[in-house]
């Protein structure tokens, strides 16, 4: 992206797809250590910092790079290169010990769960403490837990890097990735590249933050940016769905310069890819960095509208034939069904909660509070979770709807649900999701596992009981489509 489009991308290097295939066939390939060392040395020379330097350390992010997007299914390790010495150097060069120890806390947690396979629950779910000494204490607690479990995070950054690369390769064959590929029809033999990239820090100070943005609305196809932003945070805080995110308008108020730069880069990326893009970014001390981008997942209605829009958009100028080819027969059928169903829905009073409509459609089903239970259920179920993790994908794939109490519009739950056409409501903050029941913050029971509930992934509303019909009784299905999705008719007749 840097060389082609002139975008601000942190430097790094890529371990290519054939290496993953070789690893899957016979383990760590001969010559890979030397190749990684050569590219690390070049990166160190370019940045002016060294991995493991106790005075001014280089830290890197290790991410997957599969040819087709698999949101949240493959592993990532951030802040790699921190150890008991380099954390002190990071504190000194940044001038902020709390930031350094927060980054070390994040690294140990991510490395332990991703590379070493430690259950996240063993490390606790308490919010991150505030202040350098409290964070230092939290790091000590994590290390004590890992020692009791016999899990060791290497102090040597080179060993850390090898472990992280292997974890990304292994994640290609994880159960969650296999479930996702089966649903998406992705070839299991392809494998994934690995991107090693210099860290930029969204958790550094009040002029820093991170976010994910789609160049257009992936639910409706509206021609406006759509995404989430979180100040003083790192990317996993946004996509994991564990934090309450802010809007892009909030970003514009908080960091107007970075927001303006982001809009310019989004337009450039969309022109380059000739499609809607999904972009991850970080702001470090007011400077915007583009971390990665891909063609974005979209719902069926958005797929139809985007294809038609991009014929008319002179910056993209799809031909009618190109536009028609972008929309599958399944997407056409789903889009038609969604607009007809939406038009025929009657009003429902008395919503018990309201979150963010993350994937359109209104559905009813039995509330299931565990992904394993959803996968084992018969009949229509709505998966209800505090947030969804990639490990929940087997339950998500068989649910008619998804409801979470935290998370934003670009969390993994939202992106996966949207791509699969599953209605979803995220960030329903009034709800506290337990093991067997969902309550309000003061403990009043709202509904229990097995109860019939209804969610609307357009409005974000949640109701008890089943859905109601009654709208557009005077129109035929064809008349509704002609009124509400005329773009579908255009794509049929290029």
Looking at residue 344, its pLDDT comes to: 87
With respect to residue 236, please indicate whether it lies within any of the assigned structural domains.
no
Mean pLDDT confidence for 434-444: 95
Helices then strands, each counted (H, E), the chain? 19, 19
Q: Is the pLDDT of residue 461 over 90?
A: yes
3 state DSSP class of 1: coil
> Mean pLDDT score of the chain, rounded to an integer?
94
386: how many CB neighbours lie within 10 A of its CB? 18
Q: How confident is the model at residue 354 (pLDDT cuts 50, 70, 90)?
A: very high
Structure tokens that stand for 60 in this block = 């890197």
Nearest to 58 by CA among 73, 70, 42: 42
Higher pLDDT, 408 or 225: 225
- For the ranges 189-198, 366-375, 485-494, the lowest mean pLDDT is seen at 485-494
Last residue of a domain, one of 199, 229, 260: 199
Percent share of the chain, pLDDT over 70: 97
Looking at residue 3, its pLDDT comes to: 54
Looking at residue 470, its pLDDT comes to: 65
Same domain? 335 vs 374 = no
Q: Is the pLDDT of residue 455 over 70?
A: yes
Looking at residue 493, its pLDDT comes to: 52
With respect to residue 66, please indicate whether it lies within any of the assigned structural domains.
yes
Give residue-wise pLDDT tens across range 29-45: 999 999 999 999 999 99
Give residue-wise pLDDT tens across range 166-203: 999 999 999 999 999 999 999 999 999 999 999 999 99
With respect to residue 422, please indicate whether it lies within any of the assigned structural domains.
yes
With respect to residue 277, please indicate whether it lies within any of the assigned structural domains.
no
Taken in order 115, 119, 120, 126, the sign of the CA dihedral is negative
The CATH number assigned to the domain holding 21 equals 3.30.1490.20
Sheet holding 77-80, edge to edge: 12-15, 193-198, 60-65, 77-80
- What is the domain extent for residue 334? 300-342+474-492
Q: Are 447 and 464 in contact (CB under 8 A)?
A: yes
Taken in order 204, 206, 208, 209, the sign of the CA dihedral is positive
Looking at residue 1, its pLDDT comes to: 53
Mean pLDDT confidence for 415-424: 93
With respect to residue 87, please indicate whether it lies within any of the assigned structural domains.
yes
Which element (helix H / strand E) includes 424?
Answer: strand 424-426
With respect to residue 261, please indicate whether it lies within any of the assigned structural domains.
no
Looking at residue 473, its pLDDT comes to: 66
Q: How confident is the model at residue 65 (pLDDT cuts 50, 70, 90)?
A: very high
Q: Is the pLDDT of residue 491 over 90?
A: no
Looking at residue 345, its pLDDT comes to: 86
Looking at residue 128, its pLDDT comes to: 78
With respect to residue 109, please indicate whether it lies within any of the assigned structural domains.
yes
Percent share of the chain, pLDDT over 90: 85
Q: What is the number of domains present in the chain?
A: 3
Same domain? 309 vs 378 = no
CA angle 227, 206, 101 (to 5 degrees): 105
Same domain? 62 vs 187 = yes
Mean pLDDT confidence for 116-144: 89
With respect to residue 22, please indicate whether it lies within any of the assigned structural domains.
yes
Q: Provide DSSP, 424-455.
A: EEE--TT-EE-SSEEE-TTS-EEEETT-EEEE
Q: How confident is the model at residue 412 (pLDDT cuts 50, 70, 90)?
A: confident
Nearest to 396 by CA among 413, 409, 378: 413
Give residue-wise pLDDT tens across range 278-294: 999 999 999 999 999 99
Q: Provide DSSP, 151-170.
A: ----SSHHHHHHHHHHHHHH
pTM of the model: 0.92
Looking at residue 121, its pLDDT comes to: 85
Q: How far apart are CA 97 and CA 89, in angstroms?
A: 9
Give residue-wise pLDDT tens across range 103-126: 999 999 999 999 999 998 898 777
Mean pLDDT confidence for 384-388: 92
Who's near 119: CB < 8 A, 6+ residues apart?
A: 113
Give residue-wise pLDDT tens across range 216-239: 999 999 999 999 999 999 988 898
Mean pLDDT confidence for 14-32: 97
Same domain? 337 vs 357 = no
Same domain? 135 vs 152 = yes
Q: Is the pLDDT of residue 127 over 80?
A: no
Q: Are 218 and 388 in contact (CB under 8 A)?
A: no
Same domain? 333 vs 352 = no
Last residue of a domain, one of 142, 165, 199: 199
The CATH number assigned to the domain holding 455 equals 3.50.30.10
Same domain? 417 vs 482 = no
Structure tokens that stand for 449 in this block = 């596992």
Looking at residue 426, its pLDDT comes to: 94
Q: Are 324 and 391 in contact (CB under 8 A)?
A: no
Q: Are 232 and 208 in contact (CB under 8 A)?
A: yes
Same domain? 195 vs 315 = no
Q: Is the pLDDT of residue 472 over 80?
A: no
Same domain? 306 vs 407 = no
Same domain? 313 vs 432 = no
Same domain? 315 vs 359 = no
Same domain? 310 vs 369 = no
Mean pLDDT confidence for 441-455: 96
Q: Are 456 and 428 in contact (CB under 8 A)?
A: no
Last residue of a domain, one of 199, 219, 246: 199
Q: Is the pLDDT of residue 135 over 90?
A: yes
Q: Are 440 and 431 in contact (CB under 8 A)?
A: yes
Task: Give how far Cα 195 sits from Cα of 189, 198, 211, 378, Å.
Answer: 19, 10, 19, 41
């Amino acid at each position: 992206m840097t060389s082609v489009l002139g975008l601000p991308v942190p430097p790094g290097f890529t371990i290519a797809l054939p290496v993953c295939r070789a690893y899957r066939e016979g383990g760590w390939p001969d010559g890979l250590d030397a190749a990684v060392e050569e590219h690390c040395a070049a990166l160190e020379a370019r940045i002016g910092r060294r991995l493991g330097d106790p005075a001014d350390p280089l830290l890197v992010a290790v991410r997957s790079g599969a040819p087709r997007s698999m949101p949240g299914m493959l592993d990532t390790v951030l802040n790699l290169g921190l150890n008991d010495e380099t954390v002190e150097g990071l504190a000194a060069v940044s001038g902020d010990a709390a930031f350094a120890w927060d980054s070390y806390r994040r690294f140990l947690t991510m490395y332990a769960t991703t590379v070493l396979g430690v259950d996240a629950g063993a490390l606790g779910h308490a919010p991150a403490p505030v202040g350098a000494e409290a964070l230092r204490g939290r790091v000590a607690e994590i290390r004590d837990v890992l020692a009791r479990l016999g899990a060791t995070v290497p102090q040597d950054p080179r060993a850390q890097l090898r472990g992280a690369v292997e974890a990304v390769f292994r994640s290609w064959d994880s159960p969650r990735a296999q479930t996702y590929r089966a649903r998406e029809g992705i070839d299991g033999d392809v494998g994934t590249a690995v991107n090693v990239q210099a860290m930029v820090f969204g958790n550094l100070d009040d002029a820093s933050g991170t976010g994910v943005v789609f160049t257009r609305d992936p639910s409706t196809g509206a021609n406006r940016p759509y995404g989430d932003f979180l100040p003083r945070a790192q990317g996993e805080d946004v996509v994991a769905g564990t934090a309450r995110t802010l809007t892009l308008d909030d970003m514009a108020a908080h960091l107007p310069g970075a927001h303006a730069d982001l809009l310019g880069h989004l337009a450039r990326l969309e022109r380059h890819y000739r499609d809607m893009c999904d972009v991850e970014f970080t702001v470090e001390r007011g400077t915007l960095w583009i971390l990665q981008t891909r063609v974005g997942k979209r719902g069926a209605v958005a797929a139809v509208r985007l294809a038609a829009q991009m014929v008319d958009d002179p910056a993209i100028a799809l031909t009618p034939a190109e536009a028609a080819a972008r929309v599958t027969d399944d997407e056409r059928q789903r889009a038609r069904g969604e607009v007809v169903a939406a038009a025929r829905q009657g009003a429902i009073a008395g919503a018990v909660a309201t979150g963010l409509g993350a994937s359109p459609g209104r559905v009813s089903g039995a509330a299931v509070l565990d992904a394993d239970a959803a996968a084992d259920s018969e009949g229509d179920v709505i998966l209800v979770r505090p947030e969804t993790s990639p490990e929940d994908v087997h339950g998500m794939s068989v649910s008619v709807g998804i409801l979470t109490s935290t998370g934003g519009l670009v969390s993994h739950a939202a992106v996966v649900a949207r791509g699969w056409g599953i209605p979803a409501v995220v960030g329903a903050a009034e709800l506290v999701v337990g093991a067997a029941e969902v309550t309000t913050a003061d403990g009043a029971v709202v509904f229990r596992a097995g109860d019939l509930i209804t969610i609307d992934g357009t409005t974000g509303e949640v109701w008890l009981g089943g859905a109601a019909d009654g709208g557009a009784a005077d129109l035929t299905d064809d008349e509704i489509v002609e009124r509400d999705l005329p773009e579908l008719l255009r794509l049929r007749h290029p």
